[in-house]
A and B are shown apart, each in its own frame.
Chain A
Amino acid sequence: MSRLAVDFGARFADFVAWDDAGLRILKRPVSGDMAADLVAGLEALELEAERLQELRLVTTAPLNALLARRPMPVALLSTRGFGDTLRLGRQNRAALYDPVARSPAPVFLVAPEDSHEIGGRLDATGAELAPLDPADIAAAIAGLRAREVRAVAICLLFAHVNPAQELALAEAIRAALPEVSLSLSHQVDPAPREYERTVSVLSDAWLAARMDAPLAAVRAALAARGFAGELLFGDGRGVLVSDAAARAHRAILLSGAPAAAARAGADLSADGVVIAADIGSLSADMSTGRGGQPGMSETGLLAGVPLREACTDIESIALGGTRRVGTGPRGLNFDVDEGPRLDDALAALGRLPDAGVWSAPFSPEAVVAAAADRMAYALTRYATRRNIDPGRASLAVMGGTGALLAADIAAAMGLERVLLPRAPGASGAIGLMQAARRSEAFARVDLGLEALSAEALDALLDRLEGACDGSGPLVYALSLAARRQMHAMPLILGARPASGAEIGEAFAAGFRAEFGIAPPGPGYLFSIAVYRDTRGPVPPMAELGDGAATGLIATEAGAIWCPEGWRLSRTDTAYRLERSAR
């Protein structure tokens, strides 16, 4: 039985298949039809779907569609008086010193004419102050029908405290428009602050409109070929979750692909700290790894869309092989519509095939140097913002374009060495192969720690643990704050807590360790998740060939550019590119 990991990118899909006999990698151009591309990949690898034990998927398609600000037939239903919540955002602006004030709110997620207000109100305790207004519901349904909306996001005030009105509204919509996908804020992001929850639930609806059909086609194609294994998705934390989890929480589809590559980078950090760049065709994603684990964040920002969920701490810049380069007021830049691509410069320098005639008013060497400089600056800024000294950390670079620029980036950062994961041209799929399968269960608690009885905690943990299968140790991920109204912080426990007091002590210790002071409150528990991670074996890495010591050096997937004066070597799990001794 084989396992297969597939990373659908903007231009190529990377397939990594492995079993006891070893590992095979295939890179194919994508057609835009994910199911057809998957089937073609299976055939090219001579894999029978019915003999696949697992299929692991990530795709950058929704992320790229978001980057392109592509509109989707999505509607938003919100509490009367709060239909402008998305447009008003948090009132802050994106760039402090730009004289033109621009909101960072992702207003493109829904057209103003598809936003409907619904009468009805809960108070802060969840008590109903006014029932849902049937006339508003009828008007909204008429609007949804007229605009042929495919997905509806519902975000009502205080639904995270009491979901009854959201559920009732959903029921009314479902009865009238059974084919429409529904996303409910209390299910997608059950936490306070209506703007953030609106963005979360709208993202889910946007993803439903964009991705439900192609993923249904993938499932149908697999079923038609007798696939009886497990379909897993890479999620934003760099782990694998079930198909059911991905259906329930579609944000996974947004952050899964960059997180999979970050997972590959983090695997190089077993002995310390790594800062990593995955440079693909459109964008470069930065991440960190420490002790083999990717750096995490409680919130994410993907394609300008803020995500309020634990995810790999990734920041992206617009730099990739297909980005066009032109001159700006401060030298070469990569956000122009006309001009040669970075790939053209790499080809002109012999790092990619198919070089055409280079006719730009600047040299390809200057383009590559500018790309390396831009990446080096961004990595330095990214690392220092996370209190990581780039001079003390290891640098890891991957991605098809990254492997051709790794030495240049290291040189621009003043480093003598850079690591590349195995098959750096397929790092997302490799990350998927190396990722653990996570089985987890989640419950909202919403209680002060002093009010949490040991018996209630015991019963809750019994239930959550019972829902986790797999073989790894149980981990307890709590979300809590010093006081109810403060921002939630994560607390990860490797052992089952016995009481609210024990949780409070662990929280206080963690708080002191991070901030140097005692928490300004007794502790308030928002939620508990329990999970197990299970990792399978992966095949060993291939030896380097006996080819040239410098220039383009082939790996299992993708070539590494080793310039004169540098040397490429191999460890058990990675490549090391370093300056030759002088």
Chain B
Amino acid sequence: MSDALTILQLRLDGLAEAMQQTLLRVAVSPVVREGADASCALFTARGELLALAEAIPLLLGALPGAVGAILGEYPADQMRPGDVFVTNDPFSGGTHLPDIAVVQPVFAGAALIALSASLLHHQDIGGTRAGSVPPDATEIYHEGLRIPPMRVGDSAGFTREFTNLIRAASRAPDVVLGDLETQLAAGRSAAHGVRRIAQDLGTAAFLRALEALLDRAEDETVARLSALPAGPFHGMDALDPVTDLGPCEAHVAIAIRDGRLVADFHGSSPQVQAPVNCVRSGPLSAVFYGLLTLVGDTALRNGGILRRITLQLPEASVVNAALPAAVNARMNMVRCITSAVLQALSQADAERMPAANSGMSYVIAFSGKDATGAPFLSTEIVAGGAGGGPHADGAPGISTDVGNAMNISAESLEALVPMRLRAAEIRAGSGGPGRFRGGDGIRRTYEALSDGIAASIRGERFARVAQGAHGGGSPKGSAATVIRADGARQELTARSAVVLNRGDVLVIESSGGAGYGTPE
């Protein structure tokens, strides 16, 4: 086994994973500490992915774009030891504004040998609503501080100008700055590890080995793709229809040509005036994820795989938005794109693929001031059900495809915000029927313990649900309801912002997965 290249890949993977663990252990923001909403990676000096931590696949496409944008602004030969770069600009490789990427060059002597990069969902970066994910945003200027690729630090840390900027823009500057420090520390630790490997191998040999690693992963990918039929294979999915918004459809045609996966998204809807658009990192994550499910668990996971992906994206569309589109709630659009991609890939590799999963997750944020007047803010992600099949029922209440966020426990939530989680249950019967049933969704029931709690709810699949496979049925759709203290009921839409007062109850129900095969 243990040829030198495999060992090198494992060592680099280990460094990326150590970065990730640092973020998860040290971050203050609950959505990172509890929900694992962060990602870390190492890159070559010219921006090719070297190693990736086991993180949320939704972020797979984020760091390559952010690193590319930083290199576009600050070419490698202009980087200096100790430099710190950041960006959160969705239109320069990012995802949405709370995700700030921190990139640091790794030098061995005078030679730039690698880049470390981390991305972390920060608690608040300004904008019209606490948490910086306003469900009613119609353009990016509503969503918070947009940071283009910038040099913001040196070996002493972040500059005073940058920390002042964060202090001025964020409702939770201490938390954001603390978590940025954590990203900085993770990068420094990785740099130390990379330098040690380079020292062991000799810098020139190390750099040659990195190229060989990328070439090998590319060769493996070509071999895997060459074993698949050429296609094209088509997939399509869409967000719930919203009055006066226009369709939000993702269409993809996947073709395998010359050992290359070409994903053509033309036919997808034009961008809309709602925060559900996604930028290029979204389809890149979806296609990269789809390809990783094909190459197997022993494949080298690096930019060699990315070399074999070609994206063809319509401009100013929901899958490739242009300024000034709002994008904060892009997650469910990425889920749609991923569903479409997996539909297409399942035609190429049918035996391994289950029925469609719920294709959604909720992002729920509670904010306000507690009894002492201190501000609170907590964000959580609630999954739906997995698709049934191909050999068993789907799992209930589980993060699927590009999601892998963890839930927030009642004991953590209630210690943070004046909310009581009355129940966290499997939503029985919400999975689609089938020979293998779709996994059920989740029902979470919250009670407000004080007045004036702002709840931001971003969900999906209220109307349009996943389709069953091979005769299986569709699941129940999502639902969200407020039951006021006086008994009045308010049915919420997929993207809602409500204020909860003492005694109000919020019930969140996620969609299940689709069924597989005709029910017996």
Chain A residues in the interface with B (C-beta under 8 A): 80-85, 87-93, 95-103, 123-124, 129, 157-158, 192-195, 330, 373-374, 376-377, 380-381, 383-387, 389-391, 412-414, 482-487, 489, 515-517, 520-521
Contacts and interface: CB of A to CB of B under 8 A. Distances in A.
B471 to A, nearest CB: 19
B407 A516 contact: no
Contact of B411 (A84, A192, A380, A520): A192
Contacts of A88: 396-397, 407, 424, 426, 442
Contact of B410 (A83, A102, A157, A412): A157
A389 B199 CA distance: 13
Contacts of A487: 24-25, 33
7 contacts: A83-B425, A85-B424, A88-B442, A89-B398, A91-B382, A93-B400, A376-B2
Nearest to B353: A99
Given A377-B2, A413-B2, A91 B184 contact: no
B424 A81 contact: yes
Given A157-B410, A376-B2, A412-B1, A330 B415 contact: no
Interface in B179-205: 181-182, 184-186, 188-189, 193, 196-197, 200
Given A102-B395, A193-B411, A386 B14 contact: yes
Interface string B443-482: 0010000000000000000000000000000000000000
Contacts of B411: 124, 157-158, 192-194
A391 B200 contact: yes
A161 B15 CA distance: 37
Given A330-B298, A387-B193, A486-B28, A515 B182 contact: yes
B509 interface: no
Contact of B415 (A90, A101, A192, A520): A192
Contacts of B391: 100
B497 interface: no
A5 to B, nearest CB: 35
Contacts of B426: 84, 87-88
B289 interface: yes
A412 B297 CA distance: 20
B307 to A, nearest CB: 18
B409 A195 contact: yes
Nearest to B423: A81
Given A81-B445, A124-B411, A330-B298, A87 B396 contact: yes
A343 to B, nearest CB: 22
A407 to B, nearest CB: 15
A414 B2 contact: yes
Contacts of A515: 22, 25-26, 182, 185-186, 189
A330 B295 CA distance: 12
Nearest to B400: A101
A520 B178 contact: yes
Contacts of A484: 415
Given A91-B406, A387-B193, A484-B415, A101 B425 contact: no
B185 A101 contact: no
Given A81-B445, A413-B2, A515-B22, A192 B412 contact: yes
Given A102-B395, A385-B17, A414-B2, A96 B54 contact: yes
Contacts of B178: 520
Contact of B188 (A93, A373, A516): A516
B399 interface: yes
A96 B396 contact: no
A157 B17 CA distance: 32
Nearest to A515: B185
B387 to A, nearest CB: 8
Interface of B: 1-2, 4, 6-7, 10-11, 13-15, 17-18, 22, 24-26, 28, 30, 33, 36, 54, 57, 178, 181-182, 184-186, 188-189, 193, 196-197, 200, 289, 292-293, 296-298, 342, 352-354, 357, 381-383, 386, 390-392, 394-401, 404-407, 409-412, 414-416, 420-426, 439, 442, 445
B415 A92 contact: no
Contacts of B33: 485-487
Given A192-B409, A412-B1, A485-B415, A101 B22 contact: no
A123 B410 CA distance: 10
Contact of A81 (B18, B398, B404, B425): B425
A194 B22 CA distance: 23
Contact of A380 (B2, B296, B354): B2
A193 B408 CA distance: 9
B74 to A, nearest CB: 23
Contacts of B13: 381, 384-385
Nearest to A83: B425
Contact of B398 (A84, A91, A374): A91
Contacts of B18: 385, 387
A101 B399 CA distance: 8
Contacts of A193: 409, 411-412
A103 B181 contact: no
10 nearest interchain CB pairs? A81-B423, A384-B14, A373-B1, A520-B178, A101-B386, A91-B407, A516-B185, A90-B406, A517-B185, A124-B414
Nearest to A387: B18
A413 B4 CA distance: 9
Given A102-B395, A515-B185, A520-B28, A92 B1 contact: no
Secondary structure of the A side of the interface? loop
Report which residue of B178, B342, B381 has the largest number of chain A beta carbons within 10 angstroms of its beta carbon. Answer: B178
Contacts of A486: 26, 28, 33
Given A93-B395, A100-B354, A516-B188, 14 more contacts: A82-B410, A88-B396, A88-B424, A92-B399, A92-B406, A101-B395, A101-B399, A101-B400, A101-B439, A330-B298, A376-B2, A380-B6, A389-B200, A515-B189
Given A99-B352, A157-B410, A517-B185, A123 B398 contact: no
A373 to B, nearest CB: 4
A340 to B, nearest CB: 21
B25 A485 contact: no
Given A99-B342, A330-B298, A413-B2, A520 B10 contact: no
Contact of B36 (A80, A84, A92, A99): A92
Nearest to B301: A97
Contacts of A389: 11, 196-197, 200
Contacts of B386: 100-101
Nearest to B406: A90
Contacts of B439: 101
B189 A376 contact: no
Nearest to B352: A99
Contacts of B17: 385
A521 B426 CA distance: 36
A482 B184 CA distance: 18
A124 to B, nearest CB: 4
B414 A103 contact: no
Nearest to B413: A124
Contacts of A100: 352, 354, 386, 390-392
A180 to B, nearest CB: 27
Contacts of A81: 421-425, 445
Contacts of B4: 414
Contact of A124 (B57, B193, B415): B415
B25 A489 contact: yes
Contacts of B342: 99
Given A81-B422, A96-B54, A516-B189, A485 B30 contact: yes
Contacts of B390: 100
Contact of A517 (B57, B182, B357, B420): B182
Nearest to A158: B411
B322 to A, nearest CB: 31
A409 to B, nearest CB: 10
A93 B397 CA distance: 10
Nearest to A379: B2
A376 B3 CA distance: 10
A385 B293 contact: no
